[in-house]
């Protein structure tokens, strides 16, 4: 049946029925990582949240173009007084080319996301590859009279923008006075007409290594400009969905709206979606707290808090445990990390995987003593209610209980009902929530199984006195670096 998919729009502050601008097609843009450090738990949440959205929209039959950028220039650090961007700063520190740093961390980001089974987006544009588009955007805003050049830099003119029919602050609900109270002293304040104005283009200082020519100066684009320019380039303007973490609502997305309205007369998208944050044992994640736990550290099971020298992780956590942990909360709720919470997630994940395995060995009966026909629609209803994955999981746990009851011979299911449950698990657990059976994809288990099969074939050949085949198997394995040893209990193997 046709699904009515409701999503919460941050702009209207309510759930709205999702209807794409072009029937059958969806354009979605999500702010990607700034590649100057390893991905941590905070990066996993938006990646997984919008992966679910990407998967679900495709499941509903939409043709989706998913754009997620790589910020490799122009992300000014809030506390940087020299205006040097984060990538250049790190490059200077490690004596590397800025692009070398960006590539290194991009590769590592991809590897971590692959392990979390996050699908790659359709297009992954780099800010550094779209300087021309960003210069064009800045020029349009200047032409509209809503920006000004000051000492080679270009600033967005917030007060002029307010005087027109626009309203800065419509997404975040912040008013200008409140904004000013929270704006810290930044480089270039003396160049601005108004403290709330933000940079569209920054003139590079002589020591700044990442720079491009522009009509105003050799410099680099402001961070907000890249998403506006690249979103419009690949998805058109406006497009359907713009997503990101709640920490990006202000000033990043608020400024994106202002830039888009100033240059086109309308906002960038129809729906704004934001995932909430992850706290670590009740605290915000922050460099100063030493609690930025990278994904690799979770997978390996060790993070020493540099502030107090304490080990924060009780054990390694598999990528699917991390994924399940994030899916157990609604994406607009906060999630708090603790070892207990992750251990509970590991149990919950294993319970679902075990139920699916049990499903494969259930004996069908002529009649069903339990009704399992409702699970599919219950799961759809939860997904359609603004991607309520915790409710989907609770229905799947109910289904797992049914499976176990049948397995314990306390209830019966027909083959048709068993197949229906298999299909529900396949659809919601694997296709939409993107979980996978870690045990089944473990290569060592796979290799053990394959080797046992090969040795069985060889044993059968020997039993038939087919020495040609048994020798060929042994020699082929030897060529691959695998030694076969014949013992009195049969053959064993080891890597040479």
CB of 413 to Zn ion, least distance (A): 48
- Binding status of residue 260 toward Zn ion by CB under 5 A: no
Contact (CB, 8 A) for 351 and 399: no
Number of H helices and E strands in the chain, helices first, is 16, 14
∠ Cα 101 103 108 (to 5°): 100
Question: How far is the C-alpha of 161 from the C-alpha of 37, rounded, in Å?
Answer: 36
CB of 224 to Zn ion, least distance (A): 7
- Binding status of residue 246 toward Zn ion by CB under 5 A: no
Residue 488 neighbours by CB under 8 Å, 6+ apart: none
- Binding status of residue 227 toward Zn ion by CB under 5 A: yes
> Torsion angle of alpha carbons 208, 211, 216, 217, nearest 10°?
50
Residue 277 neighbours by CB under 8 Å, 6+ apart: 42, 45, 245, 246, 247, 284, 285, 334, 335
- Binding status of residue 31 toward Zn ion by CB under 5 A: yes
Contacts to Zn ion from residues 335-374, by CB under 5 A: none
Query: Per CB under 5 A, which region of 23-31, 88-96, 313-321, 370-378 contacts Zn ion?
Result: 23-31
Residue 459: both structure tokens together: 């044993």
Residue 368 neighbours by CB under 8 Å, 6+ apart: 412, 413, 414, 417
Query: Per CB under 5 A, which region of 100-108, 221-229, 306-314, 405-413 contacts Zn ion?
Result: 221-229
Per-residue binding string, Zn ion, 175-214, x by CB under 5 A, is: ----------------------------------------
Query: Per CB under 5 A, which region of 95-103, 224-232, 367-375, 410-418 contacts Zn ion?
Result: 224-232
CB atoms within 10 A of CB 392: 23
Nearer to Zn ion, 28 or 227 (CB): 227
Query: Per CB under 5 A, which region of 27-35, 41-49, 133-141, 413-421 contacts Zn ion?
Result: 27-35
CB of 481 to Zn ion, least distance (A): 48
- Binding status of residue 257 toward Zn ion by CB under 5 A: no
φ, ψ dihedrals at 76, nearest 5°: -65, 135
Residue 287 neighbours by CB under 8 Å, 6+ apart: none
Helix axes 319-327, 339-359, angle to 10 degrees: 100
CB of 97 to Zn ion, least distance (A): 24
CB of 494 to Zn ion, least distance (A): 51
Query: Per CB under 5 A, which region of 15-23, 26-34, 115-123, 443-451 contacts Zn ion?
Result: 26-34
Nearer to Zn ion, 219 or 244 (CB): 244
CB of 493 to Zn ion, least distance (A): 52
CB of 71 to Zn ion, least distance (A): 7
Nearer to Zn ion, 31 or 41 (CB): 31
Residue among 94, 124, 86, 90 at smallest CA distance from 106: 124
Residue 112 neighbours by CB under 8 Å, 6+ apart: 38, 39, 43, 44, 295, 296
Nearer to Zn ion, 83 or 244 (CB): 244
CB of 236 to Zn ion, least distance (A): 17
- Binding residues for Zn ion, rule: CB under 5 A, are 31, 227
């Amino acid at each position: 049946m046709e699904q009515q998919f409701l999503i919460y729009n941050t702009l209207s502050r309510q759930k709205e029925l999702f209807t794409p601008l072009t029937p059958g097609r969806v354009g979605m843009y999500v702010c990607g990582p700034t590649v100057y450090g390893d991905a941590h738990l905070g990066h996993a949440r938006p990646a997984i949240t919008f992966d679910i959205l990407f998967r679900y929209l495709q499941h509903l039959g939409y043709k989706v173009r998913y754009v997620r950028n790589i910020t490799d220039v122009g992300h000014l650090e809030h506390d940087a007084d020299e205006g040097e961007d984060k990538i250049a700063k790190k490059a200077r520190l490690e004596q590397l080319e800025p692009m070398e740093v960006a590539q290194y961390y991009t590769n590592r980001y991809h590897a971590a996301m692959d392990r979390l089974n996050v699908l790659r987006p359709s297009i992954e544009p780099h800010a550094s590859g779209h300087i021309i588009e960003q210069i064009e955007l800045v020029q349009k805003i200047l032409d509209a009279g809503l920006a000004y050049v000051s000492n080679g830099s270009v600033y967005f003119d917030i007060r002029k923008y307010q005087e027109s029919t626009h309203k800065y602050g419509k997404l975040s609900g912040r008013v200008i006075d409140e904004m000013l109270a929270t704006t810290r002293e930044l480089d270039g304040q003396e160049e601005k007409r108004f403290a709330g104005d933000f940079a569209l283009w920054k003139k590079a200082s002589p020591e700044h290594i990442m720079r491009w020519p522009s009509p105003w100066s050799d410099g680099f684009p402001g961070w907000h400009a890249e998403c506006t320019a690249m979103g419009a380039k690949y998805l058109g303007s406006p497009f359907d969905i713009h997503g990101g973490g709640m920490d990006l609502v202000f000033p990043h997305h608020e400024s994106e709206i202002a830039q888009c309205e100033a240059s086109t007369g309308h906002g960038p998208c129809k729906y704004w979606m934001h995932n909430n944050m992850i706290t670590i044992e009740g605290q915000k994640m922050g460099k100063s707290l030493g609690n930025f736990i990278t994904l690799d550290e979770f997978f390996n099971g060790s993070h020493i808090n540099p502030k107090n020298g304490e080990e924060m992780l009780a054990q390694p956590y598999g990528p699917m445990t991390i994924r399940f942990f994030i899916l157990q909360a609604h994406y607009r709720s906060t999630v708090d990390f603790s070892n207990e919470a992750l251990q509970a997630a590991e149990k919950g994940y294993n319970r679902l995987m075990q139920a699916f395995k049990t499903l494969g060995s259930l004996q069908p009966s002529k009649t069903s003593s339990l009704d399992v026909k409702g699970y599919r629609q219950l799961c759809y209803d939860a997904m359609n209610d603004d991607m309520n994955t915790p409710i989907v999981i609770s229905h799947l746990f109910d289904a797992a209980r049914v499976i176990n009851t049948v397995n314990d011979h306390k209830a019966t299911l027909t083959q048709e009902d068993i197949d229906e449950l298999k299909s529900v698990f396949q659809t919601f657990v694997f296709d939409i929530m993107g979980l996978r059976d870690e045990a089944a994809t473990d290569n060592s288990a796979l290799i053990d199984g394959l080797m046992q099969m090969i040795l069985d074939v060889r044993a059968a050949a020997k039993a038939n006195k087919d020495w040609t085949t048994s020798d060929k198997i042994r020699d082929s394995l030897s060529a691959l670096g695998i030694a076969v040893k014949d013992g009195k209990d049969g053959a064993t193997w080891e890597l040479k």
